[in-house]
Amino acid sequence: MAVSTFEELSLEGLKDIYDAEHQITEALPKMAEAATSAELQKAFRQHLEQTQSQIKRLEQVFQLLGQKATRKPCVATKGLIAEANEHLKETDKGPLRDAALIESAQKVEHYEIASYGTARTYAQQAGQDEVAALLEQTLKEEEATDQLLTKIAESVVNRKAAQQ
């Protein structure tokens, strides 16, 4: 489909992030299982629950826009998850793998932060205040998850990985 309007551009971005969130719900249980840090496992499990809520929030956004919630394959997230799977193959279970998992998760978070930030801005510029507010809520959650992962990395995981 050729994108020829700002509204279409915005909608395509929402479809992309909707697919990304679904991909993430499939990846997070595997990441939690692969982690050895209890704190990291807990963070991945909590983010899975949060991601499921974010999917529902996106479905609200589509509804507010009078659109059916549909997925457009998110190539970026697919690639980031493939990279995470490579890290799992390349590392043994332990602190080094935990550090690699955090790295992979933060790459995904940064993609989501960029995507939600753009979607929110588009909604604001289109005068879609309710949509913008829903997207802002998810954006703040993604930023908080990124900060939590940084805290886990800096307080425990990276130090242990460096000592291996």
**Please, which residues have CB within 8 angstroms of residue 162's CB and are 6 or more apart in sequence?**
none
Q: With bands split at pLDDT 50, 70 and 90, how would you rate the model's confidence at 1?
A: low
- CA gap 135, 119 in Å, rounded: 7
Is pLDDT above 70 for 161?
yes
**pLDDT tens digits, one per residue of 28-54:** 999 999 999 999 999 999 999 999 999
Q: Which two tokens stand for residue 75?
A: 């190539």
**Please, which residues have CB within 8 angstroms of residue 64's CB and are 6 or more apart in sequence?**
128, 130, 131, 134
State mean pLDDT over 103-108.
98
What domains lie within the chain, and their CATH numbers?
6-163 (1.20.1260.10)
State mean pLDDT over 63-72.
97
Average pLDDT for the chain: 97
| DSSP state, residue 155 | I
pLDDT of 164 reads 83
Q: With bands split at pLDDT 50, 70 and 90, how would you rate the model's confidence at 9?
A: very high
**Please, which residues have CB within 8 angstroms of residue 152's CB and are 6 or more apart in sequence?**
37, 39, 40, 43, 102
**pLDDT tens digits, one per residue of 25-34:** 999 999 999 9
